[in-house]
Amino acid sequence: MDIVTNKRRPLQTEVGAGWNGATVRRAALGLFLVVLVALPVLPTPEFWITLGNYIGLYSIVAVGLVLLTGVSGMTSFGQAAFVGLGAYSTAYLTTHYGLSPWLGLAAGLTITVVSAYLIGLVTMRMSGHYLPLATIAWGLSLYYLFGNLEFLGKYDGLNGVPVLQLAGVDLQSGRAMFYLIWAVVLLSILAVHNLLNSRPGRAIRSLKGGVVMAEAMGVNTGWMKVVAFVMAAVLACISGFLYAHLQRAVNPTPFGINYGIEYLFMAVIGGVGHLWGAVLGAGILTILKDALQGILPKLLGSNGNFEIIVFGVLLVVLLQYARDGLWPYLKRLVPAAPSRGVPEQATPLSVRSKPEAGELVLDVRAARKQFGGLVAVNDVSFQVRAGEIVGLIGPNGAGKSTTFNLVTGVLPVTSGEVRYRGEVISNKPSREIVKRGIGRTFQHVHLLPTMTVLENVAIGAHLRGDFAAQGGIAAAVLRLNRTEEGKLLAEAARQLQRVGLGDYLYHEAGSLALGQQRILEIARALCCDPALLLLDEPAAGLRYKEKQALAELLGKLKGEGMSVLLVEHDMDFVMNLTDRLVVMEFGTRIAEGAPVDVQKDPAVLRAYLGDID
């Protein structure tokens, strides 16, 4: 479909089309709730209630892992250690000091938040394998700590943990605990679901789109990783608290690294990116483990944890044939339901004061970037004024994208400086630069293919929410952010309509054609409320009519006072649109001037080997 055929279909039609899916989902959830409520009152054998309790406890941990591993892309083997913190805190305080279990919970949560925060702070900024390794180290050391501390009862643990009391009711039986445990499971899912469908949640989800993109939208990626890590740890801790009061005793075994691996198994089997997959995975693994523990020793004629071998084989098979776990298969049975729609009425977001026409916006002064011996940008200088469209052209490898990265703080300059509205911005992090009003797109698109077009674009408005200054995590979890969400989604929808993608709000971003994905990135950059827009090859992959629409849009933006710096290979496009051209070759600026003059410049003609006629 053409982006120029911008029929403004009303936003609500797409939501309406998903009604069927939403109904089926609601019915399935209702049925599940009825089963949960009924199980303890029906003459269900005690064995099944116990199994249900464990599935619930494991689900809570696995929900945290969906957030941490599935959504944020960070692997942790150490969740069992946080479960242990929750269990031991309450067990110790209630048995030694006779404190209320709820104080035990508060203590456990405090210890968990502090330790997860510290571990997060140290490891999250490191790349790749450090986190999994750190969580293994953490899991092992806590296990041995539990087992060796005299006051925690060493490997025998602590006994006589009291019964939980809730609103004057003793939760003595497994049946009574069943309700509490499953209420916590549902609340955990709701909390994480709320978080994910919010401004900070989209920031967490954007981690998978690459740190460079997320930071360019103003996301403090290091902090968001810490948030995800702490939240996952808190859920594990709560599960441990419930475990201690269900078992009425604790010992180190269930908090060892084996269990840490099993939790990860559960999240992976269920579907590591899906919240309900956590429950599915916990259910499958728990029931399977129980069955295997009964059958395997009989088959093999000796005792041992043989089920681990079966799990290992299962995991390998799963990773081969169903990377996303089993939940997507269930999900496919139900028509897709769109996520939250755009409200019809929303107060527009406030906008920054824009530079006066002709004001010097961008001032690149002898900027240099060396990669080892390669000088990718060689003391390049140029300026962009408010309301100007400046083209940055040159053959492949000339250093155009690197120049963009210097301006937007993706790379530090080797020497020289970049000023934006008089302020030196070179060597500031990307998220500080976008905060000042520089929005950008990428030569190789960076978007979240499974998120909707609307949500992808809303990431651009990350710094513009009502709660942006405080982080907004608590507000998101408690859904106190409805006004903010409404405004942000309305802004995203407005920018999408502006660029001609108004018909695609609820489509998965990955389903768009490449050219449209580039246009999506422009809408996302516009959501940053920029005064200067940096577009890296925006017309690549567009058809003729789409290019015309893009040129028209950029002309309109210019008319509104926007400054644009543009890298583009399509010479017709560049010549007609830009006020000035800066030409680079081998990192060096070889020409600058009005397009008509640059076109005749012998140095430019040489560089392009006759590409320009």
Binding at 59: pick from Mg ion, ligand ADP, none (beta carbon under 5-8 Å per type): none
The separation between the first and the last C-alpha atoms of the chain, rounded to the nearest angstrom, is 32
504 CB-near residues (< 8 Å, 6+ apart) = 453, 496, 512, 516
Confirm or reject binding of residue 535 to ligand ADP (CB under 6 A): no
For residues 198 and 401, which CB has a smaller minimum distance to Mg ion in the complex? 401
Site residues (CB under 6 A) for ligand ADP, limited to 504-533? none
Binding at 515: pick from Mg ion, ligand ADP, none (beta carbon under 5-8 Å per type): none
Site mask for ligand ADP (CB under 6 A), range 342-381, x = bound: -----------------------------x--x-x-----
Q: In terms of DSSP H, where are the helices of 333-437? A: 400-407, 430-436
Closest CA to 363 of 346, 335, 382, 348: 382
For residues 199 and 400, which CB has a smaller minimum distance to ligand ADP in the complex? 400
Chain length of the chain = 613
Whole-angstrom distance, CA of residue 476 vs CA of residue 231: 13
Helix (H, G, I), strand (E, B) or coil at 603: helix
For residues 312 and 412, which CB has a smaller minimum distance to ligand ADP in the complex? 412
Binding at 402: pick from ligand ADP, Mg ion, none (beta carbon under 5-8 Å per type): ligand ADP
For residues 53 and 378, which CB has a smaller minimum distance to ligand ADP in the complex? 378
- Provide, rounded to whole angstroms, the least separation between the CB of residue 396 and Mg ion: 7
Whole-angstrom distance, CA of residue 440 vs CA of residue 404: 9
Q: Which two tokens stand for residue 497?
A: 């309509």
Binding at 399: pick from Mg ion, ligand ADP, none (beta carbon under 5-8 Å per type): ligand ADP
Residue written as tokens 């509490």? 180
CA 609 to chain centre: 45
- Provide, rounded to whole angstroms, the least separation between the CB of residue 533 and ligand ADP: 17
Binding at 29: pick from ligand ADP, Mg ion, none (beta carbon under 5-8 Å per type): none
Contact residues for Mg ion, defined by CB under 5 A = 400-401, 443
Whole-angstrom distance, CA of residue 277 vs CA of residue 608: 54
Site mask for ligand ADP (CB under 6 A), range 380-419, x = bound: --------------x-xxxxxxx-----------------
* Sign of the dihedral defined by the CA atoms of residues 597, 602, 606, 609, in that order: positive
Q: Residues 13, 17, 23, CA angle at the centre, nearest 5°?
A: 130
- Provide, rounded to whole angstroms, the least separation between the CB of residue 399 and ligand ADP: 4
For residues 419 and 569, which CB has a smaller minimum distance to ligand ADP in the complex? 569
Site residues (CB under 6 A) for ligand ADP, limited to 303-332? none
For residues 494 and 580, which CB has a smaller minimum distance to ligand ADP in the complex? 580
- Using an 8 Å Cβ cutoff, are 226 and 124 in contact? yes
- Provide, rounded to whole angstroms, the least separation between the CB of residue 406 and ligand ADP: 10
Binding at 376: pick from ligand ADP, Mg ion, none (beta carbon under 5-8 Å per type): ligand ADP
For residues 401 and 516, which CB has a smaller minimum distance to ligand ADP in the complex? 401
- How would DSSP label each residue in 443-489? SS----TTSBHHHHHHGGGGGGSTTTTT--HHHHHTT--HHHHHHHH
- Provide, rounded to whole angstroms, the least separation between the CB of residue 22 and ligand ADP: 45
Binding at 591: pick from ligand ADP, Mg ion, none (beta carbon under 5-8 Å per type): none
Q: Residues 7, 11, 15, CA angle at the centre, nearest 5°?
A: 130
- How would DSSP label each residue in 142-187? HHHHHHH-GGGTGGG-EE-PPPEEETTEEE-SHHHHHHHHHHHHHH
- Using an 8 Å Cβ cutoff, are 236 and 79 in contact? yes
- Provide, rounded to whole angstroms, the least separation between the CB of residue 404 and Mg ion: 8
**Which uninterrupted H or E stretch holds 249?**
strand 249-250
- Provide, rounded to whole angstroms, the least separation between the CB of residue 440 and Mg ion: 12
- Using an 8 Å Cβ cutoff, are 459 and 524 in contact? yes
For residues 549 and 565, which CB has a smaller minimum distance to ligand ADP in the complex? 565
Task: Work out the angle between the directed axes of helices 221-247 and 101-123 (0-180°, nearest 10).
Answer: 150
- Provide, rounded to whole angstroms, the least separation between the CB of residue 218 and Mg ion: 23
Binding at 486: pick from Mg ion, ligand ADP, none (beta carbon under 5-8 Å per type): none
- Provide, rounded to whole angstroms, the least separation between the CB of residue 156 and ligand ADP: 56
Residue written as tokens 């399509």? 570
Binding at 345: pick from Mg ion, ligand ADP, none (beta carbon under 5-8 Å per type): none
Strand partners, 393: 583
Binding at 87: pick from Mg ion, ligand ADP, none (beta carbon under 5-8 Å per type): none
Whole-angstrom distance, CA of residue 25 vs CA of residue 333: 10
Whole-angstrom distance, CA of residue 504 vs CA of residue 497: 9
For residues 203 and 376, which CB has a smaller minimum distance to ligand ADP in the complex? 376
Whole-angstrom distance, CA of residue 459 vs CA of residue 523: 10
User: Exposed, middle or buried by CB within 10 Å (0-12, 13-18, 19+), for 540?
Assistant: middle
Name residue 122's amino acid: V
For residues 326 and 433, which CB has a smaller minimum distance to ligand ADP in the complex? 433
- Provide, rounded to whole angstroms, the least separation between the CB of residue 372 and ligand ADP: 7
Closest CA to 270 of 323, 322, 325: 325
Binding at 303: pick from Mg ion, ligand ADP, none (beta carbon under 5-8 Å per type): none
Residue written as tokens 């949640």? 201
Q: Which two tokens stand for residue 610?
A: 């006759």
Give the CB-nearest residue to Mg ion: 401
For residues 220 and 588, which CB has a smaller minimum distance to ligand ADP in the complex? 588
- Provide, rounded to whole angstroms, the least separation between the CB of residue 401 and ligand ADP: 3
For residues 405 and 599, which CB has a smaller minimum distance to Mg ion in the complex? 405
- Provide, rounded to whole angstroms, the least separation between the CB of residue 582 and ligand ADP: 12
- Provide, rounded to whole angstroms, the least separation between the CB of residue 418 and ligand ADP: 15
Total residues interacting with ligand ADP, rule: CB under 6 A: 11
For residues 191 and 582, which CB has a smaller minimum distance to ligand ADP in the complex? 582
Which residues in this chain contact ligand ADP in the complex, by CB under 6 A?
371, 374, 376, 394, 396-402
